[in-house]
Amino acid sequence: MLNLFSEHEKIIRAEGENTYPNECCGILIGEVDDQSVKAVKYTEAIRNAREDGEQYHRFLITPEDMMQAEQTARKRKQDVIGFYHSHPDHPAKPSDYDKEHALPFYSYVIVSVMRNKSEELTSWELTADRKEFNSEKIIKGEKMIKILIPYALRSFTERNAEVEVDGKTAGETLNALAAIYPDIKTHLFADNNSLRDFINLFIDGKNINTLQGLDTPVADNSEVMIIPAIAGGKSGFRTY
């Protein structure tokens, strides 16, 4: 079973349309729970490395791109859980060629793109004996909590201006952000794990300092903004 958030589905469909009439391809990064439900938390589009003239019905993700994706997943403390690609002017069903180059347990998402318009989107999982693909149920997840990253901190988020995380409180969302990008933590938190005094957090436009601080609940689909208060001044005291 695959939990695919609406934002990631939009990305996959857009990639399929943008690369039409050739096949797009990309990597799914996320988590697998105790019930073997795979949740996509991050998608990474990959340049189709198949030679020109073959991209209309074939795609290739190189070992080097796979290595980079595995490193990205490790940084996020997640896993590569599958892949996506498009079938231009063809149904969203895996081919024999897809089966020959697949591994069990990964999710293989296919989007059918008919005349430059994305249509059916499906997911498939190869059986352990490699005999067939089984259709995998897709759960349409809701959008996750989005944290907006100020320019000064994007060096620590791989230049991402927005990062989606899980969390029920303001503190949990920041801790989730720090788990994905550990180098950002020292700029957000003081040594006692409280927010630095010039770092402010706004949830849907409201400063958590006027609410419950880091214990402020965060609803699904909320937008969290990290806002620094800017201050400074010369050293010393006034002299007369």
State whether 53 and 123 are in the same domain: yes
Domain boundary among 141, 176, 196: 141
State whether 55 and 118 are in the same domain: yes
Name the pTM for this structure. 0.64
Q: What is the pLDDT of residue 135?
A: 97
State whether 40 and 69 are in the same domain: yes
Q: What percent of the chain has pLDDT over 70?
A: 96
Q: Indicate the pLDDT class of residue 12, thresholds 50, 70 and 90.
A: very high
State whether 14 and 131 are in the same domain: yes
State whether 127 and 159 are in the same domain: no
Q: What is the pLDDT of residue 236?
A: 66
Q: How many domains does the chain have?
A: 2
State whether 98 and 202 are in the same domain: no
Q: Indicate the pLDDT class of residue 240, thresholds 50, 70 and 90.
A: low
Residue numbers of the domain that contains 11? 2-141
- SS3 for the chain is CEEEEHHHHHHHHHHHHHHCCCCCEEEEEEEECCCCCEEEEEEEEECCCCCCCCCCCCCCCCHHHHHHHHHHHHHCCCEEEEEEEEEECCCCCCCHHHHHCCCECCEEEEEEEECCEEEEEEEEEECCCCCCEEEECEEEECCCEEEECCHHHHHHCCCCCEEEECCCEHHHHHHHHHHHCHHHHHHHECCCCCECCCEEEEECCEEHHHCCHHHCECCCCCEEEEEECCCCCCCCCCCC
| CATH number, position 19 | 3.40.140.10
State whether 137 and 149 are in the same domain: no
State whether 96 and 158 are in the same domain: no
Inside any domain, residue 85: yes
